[in-house]
Amino acid sequence: MTIQAQPISHTHEGHHPNPREYLMLDPKPRGEMNAMVMDAMHATSWRFWVVAAFLGLVVLVCLFGAWGYMIMEGLGVAGVNRPSYWGIFLVNTVFWIGISHAGTFVSALLRVFKAEFRRPFTRAAELMTTFGLVQAGMSIFMHMGRVWLSYWMFPFPNQRQLWTNFHSPLMWDFLAINTYLLASTMYLFLPLIPDLAMARDRSTGWRKIFYRILALGFRGTEGEWTHLRHALGIFAFAILPVMFSVHTIVSWDFAVAMRPGWNSTIFGPYFVVGALHSGIAAVAMVLIVVRATMKNMKYFIRPEHFNALGKLMLIVSMAWAYFFFNDYMVQWYGGDKWTDALLHFHEAGPLGWMWFGMLICNVAIPWLTLWNKKVRTTPGLLFTIGLLINLGMWFERYIIVPISLTINRMPFTWREYVPGVEIPLGIGTLAFFILLYMIASKLIPLVPVWEVQEGQLAHSLRKFGKETVVTVSDLE
């Protein structure tokens, strides 16, 4: 058992913050925390139903309605055409996979590095992973057109004994995204089991039956905790390379093509860092909304968590800028005629504002704001910065996909991409993501109370000379 000690941060004026501002130093009885989480699930205002109904309508019309229309009429109602055969569907696919990286980062990477601040929001982040991947899968199916033939992607021999082509990055995509989806869902469910057992013990009626089935008979015996701890340790370490591999493989959809602007060896890490950039910003946004709209969440999600996420957003923004400049510098320096034309089109073409908007949202705004603790711990400001980051990252993917496809080595084919049915379908996926999240927040405990209690037991205060420091025991 190891112990770390760190001073509680204080200002230069010597102001010592109240330790109870920090969740890990402000323990409540477990029963009370359980009641708070259950209350948050059960307390549903009329506003929830209004928003859910509105989102349901949007999903019905913009997602399923528009998709049905596209299936009936064909892909011609989308804007994809020569030379931009990949459009907003792919942009949204990459975007949603990027959002999904947040959950794994928060839940797995921070668990591996024993960052204690992760404890109250790992489940909220993991839900984003699962639902984000659902939207990514839907977006790629939309792009596919003939979705009823999607089974062709499954690795089995057809009637001519011909297997799928494993040399194709699309096949790597299929394997990687499905691996990540299954792994994330399992990683969401395993630490949820003890909280489902808690919900089972505190519920009646249909909820009790629902939680009883999902809790699988969990009691909290030594054996059960041992098996769960081993599994979570394996998952936390193993899902990280899967997370890195997924977005790297998605980047190879572009990088392995011999196209100006795409054929870059930096695309792998560039995409991974971009995914973390949009993902962490999205986690911050979701937590701000959850804290503002759900009962009792102000106890679990505190300014200290926004402070930590804000710092992460700043660091990842710097990393993204580094990779962006790496990619840009090498292309610009090479002087290839077609790459030059592409870079000029990015900056000075009809959608040049998007390129500058990307840099302002992804780099300038985070760098100018997130160094300030007051900004990081103000929910409204952090939400706005997170929204702008996600907007900037969507712009980045739009620039990489349809805008870059406009410029190829055959100028007579150059034609601006004008989206069609992609717009309502994209809005539909966003509405579906929010709707799924809202439904999940009412069905499963959003805060892993057992993890919060474990963390609170591990934290204590002690005096080092005249300084009061926080000591954290490694209970494992």
Partner 1 sequence: MADTTTLLAVFPDLDPAAHALDELRTLGVHDDQMNVIAGIPVTEAMLGRPRQWSNVPRLALGGALAGFAVGLFLAVGTPLMYPIYVGGQPLIPVPPSIVVIFEMTMLVMLIATFVGVFLDSAYPSYKPKEYVPEISDGKVGILFYCPAGDEEKFTQALTKLGAESVQPVEAQPL
Q: Tell whether residue 476 is a contact of partner 1 (CB under 8 A).
A: yes
By CB under 8 A, tell whether 296 contacts partner 1. Answer: no
Q: Which of 6, 159, 161, 204 binds partner 1 (CB under 8 A)?
A: 161
Decide if residue 157 touches partner 1 (CB under 8 A): yes
Contact status: 140 vs partner 1 (CB under 8 A): no
Find the binder of partner 1 among 245, 263, 293, 460 (CB under 8 A): 245
Residue with smaller CB distance to partner 1, 21 or 32: 32
- DSSP letter, residue 9: P
Shortest CB 108 distance to partner 1, Å: 12
Length of the chain: 476
Return d(Cα 248, Cα 253) in angstroms, integer.
9
DSSP states along 15-82? PPPPGGGSGGGS---HHHHHHHHHHHHH---HHHHHHHHHHHHHIIIIIIIHHHHHHHH-GGGSS-BT
Residue 350: both structure tokens together? 């009809």
Is residue 311 a contact residue for partner 1 (CB under 8 A)? no
Query: Which CB sits closer to partner 1, 191 or 426?
Result: 191
* Residue placing its CB nearer to partner 1 in the complex, 119 or 346: 119
Quick check: 331 and 407 in contact, CB under 8 A?
no
Q: Give the x/- contact pattern for partner 1 in 211-240, rule: CB under 8 A.
A: -xx-xxxxxxxxxxxxxxxxx--xx--xx-
- Residue 193 or 275 having the CB closest to partner 1: 193
Sign of CA dihedral 34, 36, 40, 46: positive
Least separation in angstroms between CB 253 and partner 1: 12
DSSP states of 229-290 as a string?
HHHHHHHHHHHHHHHHHHHHHHHHHHHTS--TTT--TTHHHHHHHHHHHHHHHHHHHHHHHH
Among 105, 121, 299, 450, binds partner 1 (CB under 8 A): 450
CA angle (321, 324, 325) in 5-degree steps = 85
Give the shortest CB-230-to-partner 1 separation in angstroms: 4
DSSP 3-state of 7: strand
Q: Based on CB atoms, which residue is closest to partner 1, 62 or 197?
A: 197
Which residue in 25, 144, 170, 202 binds partner 1 (CB under 8 A)? 202
Total residues contacting partner 1 by CB under 8 A comes to: 62
Instruction: Tell me if 350 contacts partner 1 by CB under 8 A.
Output: no
Mask: binding to partner 1, 32-71, rule CB under 8 A, as x and -? Answer: --x-------------------------------------
Residue-wise DSSP of 409-469 = S-GGG------STHHHHHHHHHHHHHHHHHHHHHHS-SS-HHHHHHHHHHEEEEEETTEEE
Q: Applying CB under 8 A, which residues contact partner 1?
A: 1, 29-31, 34, 155, 157, 161-163, 165-167, 171-172, 175-176, 178-179, 182-183, 186, 190, 194, 197-198, 200-202, 212-213, 215-231, 234-235, 238-239, 241-242, 245, 249, 450, 453-454, 457, 475-476
